[in-house]
Amino acid sequence: MTPRRKVALSFAGISIFLVTIVSSIVSINALISANTDSGSFLQFIQANISSLIICDKLSAFFILIIDFTVVSGFLYSIGYLKPYLKNKPEAWIKLHYLALVWLHASMIMVPLFRNGFWFLTVWEIMTLSSFILVIFDFDAKGTLKAGLSYLLQMHVGMIFILGALVISSKGFKSVSFNNLESFFQNNSNWPVFLLFFIGFGLKAGFFLLHTWLPDAHPAAPSHVSGIMSGVMIKLGIYGILRVTTYLVNDLAAIGITVIVLSAITGLFGVMMAILQHDIKKLLAYHSIENIGIIGLGIGLGIYGTATGNIMVSIVGYAGALLHTLNHSLFKSLLFYSAGSVINQLHTRNVNKMGGLMRLMPYTAWAFLIGSIAISGLPPFNGFISEFLIYTSLFNGIGNPEFYPLIVIFIAMLSLVLIGGLALLCFTKVFSIVFLGQPRTGYDEKPVEVKKIMILSKVLPVVPIILIGILPFLIIKPLMSLTGSIFGIAGTIPDVSLYEPMKFVSFGAVTLLLLVLIILIIRALVVNRNRIHVGPTWGCGYTAVNAKQQYTAASFIQEYAALTKPLIKTGFSNLNYNEDELFPEKREFHTHSDDFIKSRLIFKPADFIINLLRRAAIFQTGRLQHYILYLLLFLLLIFLLTFLKLI
């Protein structure tokens, strides 16, 4: 590394750590303090720097998540970008780090501003800086296209947010989120909430609004994918939660709509994820799935507030918040692990991987922990937040109204299905990437990645395990936090939530202890001298071909056949001709299309492009023609004026 690059790197590092320290102090201060909008350090900032900065508990919660993920992402990027240093221009690397610093700062600022102008400004900076981060590998195929699609869709989203803010600020001096309180009391909440939901949902990646996500994440370098998927799309969730805190009427309808949309989002995300062969695209679809789960929690929270059922509302919101935290942890972990694999193999196709557990053990264990956590299995953190949402759903059944009951019941079933399908998906990825053998040998043997990349994976692993086995410690603070954020008063009976959490911890600890005990017993009982290592099916039949293993497509063939009516999967395969005595070499590949993307984005875009192409015949390049157009236009104006049409 040249000294100047070192300067750029240390500049980025110092800025990120400084921003982290300052913002963490502010947010921890806000979390601990009893009042919602205070904290001595924050008061100092408000008095001396800007009175626009407001850090309440919701902001503080999100800021802490952002800080944690960005720091681990930055550490990871030091190792990850090393191979790129040789073949990328120096200025580009510097710009990348500058954009990373800007992304961090703007993400911190988004939850801090309530004023519309400043909010949209930092929102825009966030979009632009993340765009620069996404197109880092700009000479790779499809990267620029993915980046541009991301940029365009974010701007569409911003227009929706702007529109909603302007509508709600009619009659006020300034455009601000604070106006929502009185606006919502006097007007119907439903339309403006929908506008906000579309605007923020584009960032978060809800169903129908998600199409940028599966392209942008694979295109970006892995630390950026981790940060974007872990925290940046959560700012969409933050926006929805922020608006939710002001809602007054239409609550039941909004709640049910959010629940339905989220259930569809979750199911769609995981169903598409299973079919992917690109490891990062698969993780990107899992982000959509997890946004669906978070949305379920939010919807339940709104619906519970409408019916006045505190067990539904507060537990639902708490589940959404905790899942936001959990997802940022395990998704960044998964992206970092996947990035380490990509860094060694230079491909994202899972079919070209295999047997990496023996070559990259730390990465493999990290990915395994992330997989178990994201599938919502104990003893890791994903289970805890999904458990909260399940609890909320079960309490929601107690409501006697018929249609909401049906919706909640279906939501519950879809959550079960999401969990099961996620498990299938990660069984597939883990077994194909890390177990078995590579189908086609490696050009150069992959080795375990650098220490700093392993360290950045250990960072999220620690809270994943802690939340997973000690949930009773965090559940009470989480509940009081949720209560104060959403203004829900009331206490939860011990038996319905805190007791179960103790048992969950007990179960998790018992499980881990039992595994340890049985391992020790086995080690004592089994005679060490009698352990042999031999080839698979080594009984006189030794030549098992690596190509006989399951592939990513064959592993899920049954599933793909089941979902065929919903998701178009295709494969190219030529049948043998009758006169073909010796079969020629054949290519075979499978693919799956995102039908939303093709219907909603590509078709209208193609239509417009075709239309514009037809319009291009007017552009002849001859002066006479242009004068003719001018004349015709004047004539038209004259006629219209004459007929008093304009």
Partner 1 sequence: MVALVLVIITSFVFTGLIIRTKSIVSGRKGPGIFQPVKNVWVLLNKGIVYSGISGPITRMAPVVVLASIVVASLMVPVAGFKPLISFNGDFI
Binding residues (CB under 8 A) for partner 1: these are 355, 357-358, 361, 364, 368, 387, 390-391, 394, 434-437, 495-497, 499-500, 503-504, 506-507, 510-511, 514-515, 518-519, 522, 525-527, 530-536, 538
How far is the C-alpha of 323 from the C-alpha of 294, rounded, in Å? 6
Run of H or E including 229: none
Please enumerate in sequence order all residues whose Cβ is within 8 A of that of 89, keeping only pairs 6 or more positions apart, or say none: none
Least separation in angstroms between residue 406's CB and partner 1 is: 20
Here the tokens at position 42 are 């924050």
Residue placing its CB nearer to partner 1 in the complex, 41 or 394? 394
> Residue 460, preceding bond cis, omega within 30 degrees?
no
CB of 304 to partner 1, least distance (A): 16
Between residues 270 and 412, which has the closer beta carbon with respect to partner 1? 412
| Least Å from the CB of residue 479 to partner 1 | 15
Q: Would you say 161 or 464 has its CB closer to partner 1?
A: 464
Task: Give yes or no for a contact between 408 and 259, defined as CB atoms under 8 angstroms apart.
Answer: yes
Nearer to partner 1, 99 or 492 (CB): 492
Dihedral angle sign, alpha carbons of residues 491, 496, 501, 506: positive
Residue given tokens 């190792």 in the structure block: 79
Question: What is the Cα–Cα distance from 642 to 646, expressed in whole angstroms?
Answer: 9
Contacts of 477 (CB under 8 A, 6+ apart): none
Minimum CB distance to partner 1, residue 445 (Å) = 15
CA of 207: how far to CAs of 1, 197, 201, 260, in Å?
Answer: 43, 12, 8, 11
In the DSSP assignment, the letter for residue 189 is: S
- Which amino acid is present at 493? P
Nearer to partner 1, 181 or 499 (CB): 499
CB of 371 to partner 1, least distance (A): 12
Q: Which residues contact 383 (CB under 8 A, 6 or more apart)?
A: 373, 376, 377, 468, 504
Closest to partner 1 by CB, 495 or 623: 495
Q: Whose Cβ is closer to partner 1: residue 248's or residue 416's?
A: 416
Asked whether 50 and 90 are in contact (CB, 8 A), the reply is no
In whole angstroms, the minimum distance from the beta carbon of 512 to partner 1 comes to 8
Least CB distance to partner 1 at residue 541 (A):
13
Q: What are the φ/ψ torsions at residue 378 (nearest 5 degrees)?
A: -70, 155
Cβ-based nearer residue to partner 1, 358 or 589: 358
* Residue closer to partner 1, measured from CB, 164 or 418: 418
DSSP string, 325-387: HHHHHHHHHHHHHHHHHHHHHS--BGGG---HHHHSHHHHHHHHHHHHHHTT-TTSHHHHHHH
Q: How far is the CB of 290 from partner 1 (least distance, A)?
A: 18
Instruction: Please provide residue 571's backbone torsions phi and psi, each rounded to the nearest 5 degrees.
Output: -140, 150
What are the distances in angstroms from CA 183 to CA 157, 180, 194, 245, 624? 22, 5, 15, 13, 57
d(C-alpha 537, C-alpha 518), whole Å: 27
**Short-list 385, 186, 408, CA closest to 309:** 408
Which two three-digit tokens encode residue 309? 């059922």
The total of other beta-carbon atoms located within 10 Å of residue 494's CB is: 10
Supply the minimum distance, in Å, between the C-beta of residue 365 and partner 1: 9
Pick the closer one to partner 1 by CB: 142 or 361: 361
How big is the chain by its Cα radius of gyration, in Å?
A: 27
Maximal CA-CA distance, the chain: 105
For partner 1, which is the closer residue by CB, 90 or 499? 499
Choice between 361 and 477, CB closer to partner 1: 361
Taking Cα atoms as reference points, which of 266, 333, 268, 271 lies closest to residue 297?
266
Residue found under tokens 């825009």: 124
Q: Choose between 117 and 506: whose C-beta lies nearer to partner 1.
A: 506
Two structure tokens written together for 41: 């350090």
Sequence length of the chain is 646
Q: How far apart are CA 226 and CA 332, in angstroms?
A: 4
Taking the complex as a whole, how short is the minimal distance between the CB of residue 358 and partner 1, in angstroms?
6
Q: Would you give the end-to-end CA distance of the chain in angstroms?
A: 68
Give the nearest distance from C-beta 537 to partner 1 in angstroms.
Answer: 8
Tell the smallest beta-carbon distance from residue 386 to partner 1 (Å).
Answer: 8
Which of 127/392 has CB closer to partner 1?
392
Q: State in angstroms the smallest separation of the CB of 503 from partner 1.
A: 5
Q: Which is nearer to partner 1, 166 or 526 (CB)?
A: 526
Both tokens of 541, joined, read 């039949």
Pairing of strands 589-592, 569-572: antiparallel
In whole angstroms, how close is the CB of 517 to partner 1 at the nearest point? 8
Cβ at position 531, least distance to partner 1 in Å: 5
